Amino acid sequence: MTSTMMDQLRTWTEEGWLRPLDLAFAQFLIRLDPQAPALLPLAGALLARLEGEGHTCVALDDLLSAPERLLDWPAPELATLATALGDWPHAAAWTETLAQSLCVQITERNTSDPANSAETPLVLSAARLYLRRYWRDQQFIAETLRQRAQQRVADTVNPEVLRPWLEQLFPAPDEPGDELPWQKIACALALRSHFGIITGGPGTGKTYTAARFMALLMATSSTPLRIVLAAPTGKAAVRIDESLLSAVNTLPQLGPRSDMAAAFARLRPARTLHSLLGARPESRRFHHHAANPLELDVLVVDEASMIHQEMMAALLRALPPTARLILLGDQDQLASVEAGAVLAEICQGSGMYDAETCHYLQASCGATPQPNDSSTSPLASSIVRLQRSHRFNAEIGALADAVHGGHPETAIRILQSAQTSTLAWQSAPTIHQILNLAGTETAHGRVWQAAGQPPPKDPQQHGAWVKAILKDYADFRILCALRQGPWGVTGINRAIEDHLQRQGILQSHGLWYVGRPTLVTRNDPGLGLSNGDIGIALPDPDRRMRVYFPNSDGPPRAILPSRLNHSESAWAMTVHKAQGSEFAHTVLVLPPEDSPVLSRELLYTAITRARTCFTLIAPRARLENTIQRQTRRMSGLHAALRNARH
């Protein structure tokens, strides 16, 4: 029977429904246990396939009840799969069958590794099947965060003493009407324990609040604190530095002993998590870990929705036990590219505060949330969701809310009734529309025009010229749901470059040409570049081509094109790559054909990249389907957190 199952897995691999990697993992399991039941290679192949889609486990009830929701397979293949799964119709049958295999450890519920357990490649726990490393990371994250959230800082400021400081930092209510001052509450809660989350949509003031939290720490600490800023990507790291600088400029002076501007100026620029932990090339290992922890007192991580499970576990292992960890991010945005949806899982059940927390908030903030200790998460009292966006105008905000709420009729009505230039919708997409948007009336058009001019000879004038071009480019961006195909990043980049060549703007037939926007696709510590950094190819004062990258500490950085071994054109980019960024005008292109990547979270993320204008290029049917499709990654982290409290 096992050989028959392997034949079926090979057929699915040849047809493209499984990856070669999935088949190889099933074969690996059979080599470890040649007498295993046929369920073992099937379970292993499906687990590997779904891990590639971002799931950290297979929830058996979900798979058995509706495999079509998890696998984008055609009906005949799904029917064949359903027949195979029919031999093991419920989770108890999986447990009974897989218990016979040497490759699987069965646990009753989400608990840590038994002391003498064998290192089996698979773990079946609480009706969820895991690769062991994902299960081990999940248990470690749950237990560590629970301990941090419940561990009160030894020298926490007395709430009555804290209250005037908070009133000075937040002099006016940050919410209208009778709503609670959530920014003040977030600051107070972050101050009292070793772990906190400040979540909320774009423009709700997460970095603004974090800056005030850091200012409060600096003002109240008896010794200088080592505060470190980080983000998952280089682009997000640059953004938190920019946002923090803006927030610091509005800080009041907290007492005679603290010079806030000088204290913040001493902070190092934000780093990527890979750089912070000391990633080792071609390895999953990091320089910093439990035996060699990071040297810091406070770590603030922005864009936490992009942190995958393995990275979160590595970060927590490297964090000193006494250090504070503050995560900033939007739990409703796209999850990480790799497996896990850590922020969304952690934030389930947030907004419920026990009586002790409410008493503390009344004393420190003058705010009294309704006590509610019914949350299943032990982290609930460490999480604050900011409510009010200060970035968008009413139309963009209303559209984002309609998409987030899963209301396609409302979203369509908002797009159709838009009375200003803020929103636009092209429901019959053509490539010509995209080329027009990227034409002379837009920021891209200004880049084309400037790139066709002779560069200034004077170094200062040249630096200003480059900065202006980089700023123009940063004001406008075309985002795509897909990477490949005529409506994906590769197709639209090619269409724009063909258009430039026909217009005589593109002066080279090679890879590099003046005006080419360039996206770095791999971290390059030697060049000081991170995955996601964007530069533009321009002539230097002597008309030699260089790729210029923004530099917050000085003039743009110039790098020889030949040194950029991992890069691509960036007239258009994926929504995933745009996370952590914002643009004055954002254009989103959805393909005419359906795709499993088209989801409510993707559309919401794209809309919230727009600062003043959003244009949608998508057929109505595709828009409706995208809003109705909500991504749910299978994970046991929330359940592990719930069990960790006992």
Check if the beta carbon of residue 303 is closer than 8 Å to that of residue 329.
yes
Burial class (CB in 10 A: 0-12, 13-18, 19+), 575: buried
Could you give the maximum distance between any two Cα atoms of the chain, in Å?
78
Q: Is the dihedral of CA 246, 249, 254, 259 positive or negative?
A: positive
- Evaluate whether 237 touches 271 at the Cβ level (below 8 Å): yes
* Selection from 401, 397, 515 nearest residue 450 by Cα: 515
Q: What is the DSSP letter of 158?
A: P
State the CB neighbour count (10 A cutoff) for residue 228. 19
Q: Which residues pair with 128 in a beta bridge?
A: 59, 125
Closest CA to 517 of 543, 496, 503: 496
Binding-site positions read: 200-207
Q: Which residues pair with 77 in a beta bridge?
A: none
User: What are the Cα distances from residue 602, in Å, to 264, 410, 416, 440, 568?
Assistant: 34, 18, 21, 29, 22
Burial of residue 223 (CB within 10 Å: 0-12, 13-18, 19+) is exposed
234 neighbors 272 (Cβ within 8 angstroms) = yes
Burial (CB count within 10 angstroms: exposed 0-12, middle 13-18, buried 19+), residue 279:
buried
Strand 122-125 to 128-131 pairing: antiparallel
Best CA proximity match to 610, nearest among 358, 381, 418: 418
Positive or negative CA dihedral for 500, 504, 509, 512? negative
The alpha-carbon radius of gyration of the chain (Å, integer) is 26
124-143 CB burial, b ≥16 within 10 A, e <16 = bbbbbbbbbebbbbbbbbbb
Q: Show binding-site residues for ATP.
A: 200-207
Backbone angles phi, psi at 597, to 5 degrees: -80, -15
**Ramachandran angles phi, psi of 643, nearest 5°:** -75, -25
Q: What are the Cα distances from residue 140, in Å, to 4, 134, 273, 379, 439?
A: 38, 10, 19, 15, 51
CA distance readout (Å), 412 to 158, 314, 396, 621: 51, 43, 13, 11
d(CA 200, CA 183): 11
CB 18, CB 5: distance < 8 Å: no
What is the residue whose two structure tokens read 């560590």?
144
Q: Can you tell me the distance from the alpha carbon of 207 to that of 204, in angstroms, rounded to the nearest whole number? A: 9
